[in-house]
């Protein structure tokens, strides 16, 4: 797995004593349905230019991040250390627990709800999940749509859950 690192300012400490128990799978493309540009980096780093594209005007001030991004070619970018809280799930709950950011790892796949993800992305995702499972033990895996139903739709119908091999999907 090809991994590079950036340091997003959009993170903070997890609540004391909080154990990571969940992975939340997302998708992202900026602008929507366009791939490969610098815009996801810019969003997670807090430097997205609202004038670079009309869509960016509404999101440029958002303070969001994810622990990891898996690009279309399978390369992985880490924005937030796994022991920190990334700001990826927003208003959310899982198994009766609110504030999923407190106890989850966020993984974004470069893509969109209705467009197939790449083989290299599934390979990188499974390798990353194995690594996280080794570090944290058994983890639940959920989509953003599972932790924020009615508010979020990702990773979307094009995401093939059956290709997720490790550790398990809740």
Residues noted as catalytic:
108
How many C-beta atoms surround the C-beta of residue 96 within 10 A? 5
Name the CA dihedral angle for 34, 36, 41, 44, rounded to a multiple of 10 degrees: 40
Burial (CB count <10 Å: 0-12, 13-18, 19+), residue 35: middle
Give, for 105, the enclosing helix (H) or strand (E).
strand 104-110
Chain-centre distance for alpha carbon 40 = 11
What span, in angstroms and rounded, lies between the C-alpha atoms of 28 and 36? 11
- Look up residue 37 and give its DSSP letter: S
């Amino acid at each position: 797995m090809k991994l590079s690192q950036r340091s997003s300012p959009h993170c903070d400490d997890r609540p004391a004593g909080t154990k990571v128990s969940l992975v939340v799978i997302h998708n992202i493309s900026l602008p929507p349905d366009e791939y490969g540009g610098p815009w996801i980096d810019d969003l997670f780093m807090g430097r997205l230019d609202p004038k670079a594209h009309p869509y960016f005007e509404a999101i440029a001030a958002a303070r969001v991040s994810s622990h990891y991004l898996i690009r279309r070619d399978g390369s992985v970018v880490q924005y937030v250390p796994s022991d920190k809280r990334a700001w990826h799930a927003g208003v959310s709950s899982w198994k009766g627990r609110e504030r999923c950011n407190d106890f989850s790892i966020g993984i974004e796949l470069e893509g969109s709800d209705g467009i197939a993800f790449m083989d290299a992305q599934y390979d990188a995702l499974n390798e990353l999940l194995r690594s996280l499972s080794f570090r944290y033990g058994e983890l639940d895996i959920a989509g953003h749509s599972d932790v924020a139903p009615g508010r979020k739709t990702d990773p979307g119908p094009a995401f093939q859950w059956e290709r997720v091999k490790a550790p398990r999907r809740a």
